[in-house]
Amino acid sequence: MTEQNKNHKQGQNEDQEEEQKRDFFRLRYLEQDMPLIVCGGNTFRVCEISENGIRLLIKDDVVPDEPIAGTIHFEVGSAEVQGKTIRREDDELVIHLFQILELKKINDEQLRLRRKYSRD
């Protein structure tokens, strides 16, 4: 395989990975609605959830690929999660989950927020 073909194939893989990242619905929270996650003795606010990842508000430096385990406490119920840190974006830490967060939990949260903010 020529170097050009290798680079082209690598570019296709990167495009497929980016596309896959967008295949999951993301639920972004307003600050006042953010659930909390307890990791060890620390508590952080969760600013976004999806089936395969979460974002935490955190200002501390974190090492990439660091394992994280904790419990997200929603207004109704909770979910145990395990994953690893992927990257930081401003004051947010992006975490890839090892097991998916149930779509039902995400939909329940979306419905709860819609009811809270509906104008009916």
Please give the domain boundaries of the chain with CATH numbers for all domains: 26-117 (2.40.10.430)
Cα–Cα distance measured from residue 103 to residue 84, given in angstroms and rounded to the nearest whole number:
20
> What pLDDT band is residue 19 in, cutting at 50, 70 and 90?
very low
Q: Over range 82-91, report the average pLDDT.
A: 94
Tell me the HSE value of 15 on the side-chain side, using a 13 A CA sphere: 6
- Tokens for 87? 């990257």
pLDDT at 22: 58
Q: Where in 14-100 does DSSP place strands (E)? A: 26-28, 36-39, 42-50, 53-57, 67-73, 78-89, 92-97
In terms of DSSP H, where are the helices of the chain? 3-21, 103-117
pLDDT at 14: 53
Q: For residue 58, which amino acid is it?
A: I
Is pLDDT above 70 for 21?
A: no
